[in-house]
Structure formats: C-alpha cells, structure tokens
Amino acid sequence: MRYALRKIATMFITLFFVSVIVFFSFSLIPGSPAMNKLGTEATPESIKALEHEMGLDRPVAERYGKWLLGVVRGDFGKSYSYNQPVTKLIADKLGATLLLSVMAIAITILVSIPLGIFMARKSDTKLDIFLSGFNQLIMAVPSFFSGILITLIFGVVLRVFVPGGYISYKTSLIRCIGYLVFPAFAIALPKISMVSKLLKDTVMAESGKDYVRTAYSRGNRTKSVFYKHVLFNALIPVITFLGMAFADIIAGSIIVEQVFSVPGMGRILLSSISGRDYPVIEAIILLLAFFVVLSNLIVDLLYHKFDPRINV
C-alpha cells in the first residue's frame, strides 16, 4: 500500500514537471499568437487589445498558475483557431484514440502470449524457425505501412470494411469496434512479434534454471511445472515490456489514425501543430503524458505484485 502511494505521488510529480516544461517552452516561441490570429493586416493596437483579451500580456508564471488551476478542474483554456474550449474540442476525440489504443493492446496480449508459449514449446523445430523469421520481418513493418496493406487487402480487394468509413462510438459502439479492429491490428502487429519473441526467450531461459529441474525431480508433471512455475516467472519481463509498449501504442495510434481516417487525437494534434494552436497542443501532450505515466504506474504495481522483491 505504501509502495502504491509513493508511486502515485511520483506520477503526479512527473506530470507536474511535464506541465511546467510544456507550458514554458511554448511561451518561449517567438511571435505572438495574437498576431497569428489577426494576420498581416493587424495594427499594433489591435494586437495589443487581443493580447490583453487573451491574457497574454500577463507574466508567464502568472499565466502558468492560472492555466494549471484550470487544468486541475478539467479546463484547458480556449483554442486559438476554433474559438471554443479545448476540453470540448478534444473530448470525443480522446475517446476514439483511447478505444483504439486499448483494442490494440488487447489484441497484442491475446495473440502474442499464446503464440510465444507455442513457439517456446516448438523451439528448434522447422515451424519455430519459420515463425521466428516471420516475426523478424513483421517487426520491420511500420504500423502505417501495415495499415495501408490492411486497407488494400481487406478494404479494397476483399471489401470487408469501407476504408474511411469510421463510425463514431457514440452512434454505434459495435460498428465502431468493427471498424477499429483493422487499425488496431495494424498497431498491434509489430508489438505481437516483439512480445511473442520476448516471451519465448524468457520461457527458454527460465526452463533451464535449477528450480525447474528440482520441480521435475520431485515428480511434477511437465504441464504443471510449465504453467505454475516457468510461465509465471517468464511473464514478469513481458509485463514490463507491455507497459512500455502501451505508451508506444498511444503514440503509434496518432499515426495509424491518419491511415484509417479515424478522427482521434492525431488529426487534431497535427492540425494544431500546423496552425500553431498552442492551447490545444499543450492539452493533448499533457493528456497523452497522463496516459503514459498511468500505464507506467499500472506496470510498476503489477510488477510489484508478481515479484515482491522489486521495490524501485
């Protein structure tokens, strides 16, 4: 329990630092957002007036304090280019991205763990060599390219889904999931090969250890030794990896969303980067950072549960 509390405290400290760094680096950028908004026709007076209206004439520290107070209450300020609250702008986009990321991690776990076990049991057979080579190849395919290939095979040739025909989860959750399965697979593919390879390697390493030999010598059956002892220990590094992979998957979904035209955080992040809409960028980065840190926290806690010796 104390361990968990300490971890949660560290998580908030990290987020605080992220918010400081993000806010201050965006206020260091030369050029005034008010000037961008008004265009080249702006007079110095109108820029001054708008800056005052946006609160940009206040000192940075004061603006940061105000912003942070808002963020704690779920208010990320106002978008420069859309003239509406950032929270409203990104709320349902966040839902699409999270749903996609969770589906991708679920697919990764569901496929890679049985696959890894299978590869470990068949190790050094022709099938294993083939699967390992195939894994190596899959790892080299970037998710946006596998996304395009999936679109081509399942969308254009087999016509299983309509490319670009995303249906919001608010309209129909089932049809939304039915569409997101394809991008989720594109994101999951390289992770599946990494996790299954890692699991196979750790299972092989664990199987050679003394405690396994002891378990056999005491007359346990192969199956029970494997599932009760070897697999349990072999899963520990896999959990760490999955935690890191989740952060990667969230970042990866930003790219794959573009392939499948899913209106998630990726699209709005890109348009606000090119439109220099800083409040939106800050909000998205902070939210993504929150989910990354949260997934790290979950991994740390799971890790602690699986292996109580770990106390970092």
Partner 1 sequence: MDKSKKSKFITGLVITGIIVLLTLWGMIKTPYDPYAMDSGAKFAKVSFSHFFGCDQFGRDVFSRVLIGIRETMFIAASVVFIGVFFGTILGMITGYFGGWLDEILMRFNDAMLAFPSILLALVIIGIFGPGKYQLIAALGIAFIPSFARVVRGEVLKIRNLDYVLSVKLYGASDLRILVVHILPNLKTVLLSTVIIGFNNAVLAEAGMSYLGIGVQPPEPSLGRMLSEAQAYIYTSPMSAIFPGLVIVLMILGFSLLGDTVGKKH
**Which of 163, 183, 264, 279 touches partner 1 by CB under 8 A?**
163
CA 257 to chain centre: 12
Nearest to 280 by CA among 56, 90, 68: 90
What distances in angstroms separate CA 24 from CA 58, 109, 292, one per listed residue? 14, 38, 21
| In the complex, minimum distance from the CB of residue 98 to partner 1, in angstroms, rounded to a whole number | 15
Query: Does residue number 206 form part of the binding site for partner 1 (CB under 8 A)?
Result: no
Contact residue for partner 1 among 47, 139, 167, 298 (CB under 8 A):
139
Contact between 302 and partner 1 (CB under 8 A)?
A: no
Let me know: does 100 contact 188? Beta carbons within 8 Å: no
Closest CA to 209 of 181, 190, 234, 242: 234
| Nearest distance, CB of residue 52 and partner 1, angstroms | 25
Cβ of 24: how many Cβ atoms within 10 Å?
12
Site for partner 1 contains 255 (CB under 8 A): yes
152 lies in the binding site for partner 1 (CB under 8 A): yes
Residue 103 in the binding site for partner 1 (CB under 8 A): no
Residue from 3, 7, 26, 57 that binds partner 1 (CB under 8 A)?
A: 26
The number of helices, as runs of H, and strands, as runs of E, in the chain is: 13, 0
Structure tokens given for 211? 């405690």
3-state secondary structure 68-92: HHHHHCCCCCECCCCCCEHHHHHHH
Q: Where are the extended beta strands (E) located within the chain? A: none
Q: Does 144 bind partner 1 (CB under 8 A)?
A: yes
CB of 267 to partner 1, least distance (A): 10
Contact 265, 98 (CB under 8 A): no
Q: Is 130 in the site for partner 1 (CB under 8 A)?
A: no
Tell me how many residues contact partner 1 (CB under 8 A): 47
Binding segment (CB under 8 A) for partner 1, from list 47-55, 72-80, 229-237, 277-285: 277-285
Q: How many residues does the chain have?
A: 312
Stretch that binds partner 1, among 39-47, 65-73, 177-185, 258-266 (CB under 8 A): 258-266
Exactly one of 60, 61, 106, 137 binds partner 1 (CB under 8 A); which one?
137
The tokens for 280 are 């939106």
Q: How far is the CB of 114 from partner 1 (least distance, A)?
A: 24
Q: Which residues contact 61 (CB under 8 A, 6 or more apart)?
A: none
- What is the token pair recorded at 128? 């294993």
Q: Kindly tell me which residue out of 9, 20, 29, 160 binds partner 1, with binding defined by CB under 8 A.
A: 29
Residue type, 210: D
Structure tokens at 242: 């999955």
Radius of gyration for the alpha carbons in the chain, expressed in angstroms and rounded: 24
Query: Which of 216, 273, 307, 310 is in the footprint of partner 1 by CB under 8 A?
Result: 273
d(CA 125, CA 119): 9
Stretch that binds partner 1, among 69-77, 141-149, 207-215, 234-242 (CB under 8 A): 141-149
**Residues whose CB falls within 8 Å of the CB of residue 142, separated by 6 or more in sequence, listed in order:** 190
Interface with partner 1 (CB under 8 A), residue from 25, 172, 214, 222? 25
Cβ proximity to partner 1: between 106 and 140 the closer is: 140
Summarize as ranges the residues that interact with partner 1 (CB under 8 A): 14, 17-18, 22, 25-26, 28-29, 129, 136-137, 139-142, 144-145, 148-149, 151-152, 156, 163, 247-248, 250-252, 254-255, 258-259, 266, 269-270, 272-274, 276, 278, 281, 285, 288-289, 292-293, 296
